[in-house]
Structure 1
Amino acid sequence: MVDPSAIRAVPWDGFALPTAPDQRVTSDGELLVGPSARQRRSFRLESSADEAAWQQRPPVLREREALPASSPRLNAMAQQLRLLPTGRERLEAVEAWFRSQPFRYSLQPGAVADLDAFLFDQQVGFCGHYASAVAALMRAADVPSRVISGYQGGRVVKPLSGSPFLELRQSDAHAWVEVWLEGDGWQRVDASLWAASTGSQAGAVPGPPTQRQEGQVLWWRWLQWQWWGLDLIWTRWWLSFDQANQLVWLQMLFGAQLRWLGVAIVGGGMVAVAAGWLLLRVGLRPRSPLAQSLRLLALWGVRPLPGESFPGLCRRAARKHPDQAMVFEAMADQQQRLAHACLSTSQRRQHLRRWRQLRAELGRQRWRSG
């Protein structure tokens, strides 16, 4: 079950099989479920031990040749890697080099100018930096690679009512790399672990809570989990209330007096009109920051390319509109923090306020230039 989202892709393990006509797996391994929606969606998967076709799909052109525009030091390193005979040896050499460097994992690394600056100067970043850098380095070394976005971790919740479930939040979002090795197909590589094992971690992801911390939050977390369990039972019932279940319910309710069904429909229509009026008064749920940012960038004539990250999109927007480069760069930084950083309520409110200021500034500049 997933919360409302502007995109069709949903989390999955990469091995299970869809069970409904409105679910399909793309050639890139994304599971798409129905249209994007402003309400919760439910989907069911069937476990499978068989390897899916997309996992053995040979690399396409972008996974071989898509490289950053100007990274001379990265290219020089890749030239040395190409002297090694196999892709596996090149990958092992890259891992050994990363582990020998003072890389640090940080959720607040500041602005990163390009991959050369990240790899050889700054050497501080979060999962997206490490995944994109390793993917580019492997491609430059003639080893096909691709960046994968998904979730890592989560928490298994066992409420008193209902079945246990895995809670995944945006703070569990993660990025890693898959590299194509001849004879073995796509192999998963998490370059963030290479950084986590060396040096100090400035602003690193916080570790598991201590016993004292757990005791401090246990009572309200426990109440929250029980509420989620009840909410999950209700939502599952509501989303599964299909035509067959509706007919059974109507027969139980009206029996042979189905002629009263029209009256019930009219009454339901009046309730729906009242609910619609109330919804308009209250206002629809606002779009996510990412959806609003993408819409604003589209007004500036910049739309995302297949497989392009949001920071990459903002860098392209900055090149197209250099007078607004600093604003686009700051928007990318705020967006990454809102999407991936473990923020407290006050920190998230602060970053949202800064993101709104940047969006308003771009909107004003667009209006003036329009």
Structure 2
Amino acid sequence: MSGRLQREATKRKTIPQPTYDSYPTKKMSSRDISDSAQRLSRAPQKYSSLRPAKTTGQDSFAASYFSNNPDHVPDKRSPQEKLDEIQIRLDNHGIDDNERFNLLIQRKSLCMLAYGENSQESLQALIDLGKFYNEQNRPESALRNLSKALSISKSIDVDSDSGLALAIELATANLDSKALNKTEQSRQLSNAESIMKPYQDIESDDKLLLYRRDLVIARMYCHRQNYKAAMERYQTAWDNLDQANNGSPTPETATLFDEMGDAATKMGDKSKANDYYQNAYETFCSLDMQESAELIAKKLDHVPVQRNYDNQSEKEEDNKSSSSSSSSSSSSSKKRKNSSTSSATRKSKHKHSKKESSDYSSF
């Protein structure tokens, strides 16, 4: 039984062998052999050949723009004519910030096109754009444009006013830039001081430019907590601003008084700080800037009563009398307060003698 099963298993495993007669050999002609050899000698093409991308001409954008905007009339004026028009529009103080920004960008591009990158005109355009960014509290964007202006100033002759304007904006951007730590903040302050050092005592016929110079130096002193030197620079800044405006009050005047009041507050002279805040409050009220006046009123010990004056001399006399009355009332209140206890008297006398040692003037 076992032998039969073994024979059947062996029989099932037998693989039939093919006969060579079923696969006859094909005879190839000499032409077929030549064609096959030529075909096999070529390298195989694994990938299809890539055709170069179709390039667009230089006028493709312009052609598509004018085809999509058939009513647009191209401005064929020279760059100088366009710059003259832009300058006239920039001199108009009634334009909004968006329009001013667009005009400054166009001016920068046209100046580089008409005069080249290393030119006085391109330098001034970059300074004005950096100043705009500083006014919008965007110091990083200001530094980007002012750094280009600084590099241009090293390759051309720059007049003193342009150099001073560039230094002011660079120092302002460094002071206003956000610092991640105290080390970076100290480095930015040192950069601002080194930038302004050559221009601390420079003279110029542009009083508004000198006002901005003194203002940024006063702010640097405040960062160093040297409030006495800061108040002296604030005083000089106010003198230059008053001359630039021919004695007329402006929003910058009120803002300067407010900033001086903050510096006096940090110094501990509350009486002088209140005088500065009062000047700021009255200036804002005279300019019908009620919202700004209300913000200043929160810093005042008492809100002064506003009057309608017939002339400027009457207003000046009233300001003198109000300042003298406020100083007398302040001294009388101090006397009443000093009579409460002997310890309070000693502290008050010490503070009073410290205030009298200050050598800066008030307004």
- TM-score range, shorter-chain basis? under 0.3
| Structure whose alpha-carbon radius of gyration is higher | 2
- Asked which structure has the greater RCO (Cα within 8 Å, sep 6+), the reply is 1
Normalising by structure 1, report the TM-score: 0.19
* Higher percent of residues as strand: 1
* Higher percent of residues as helix: 2
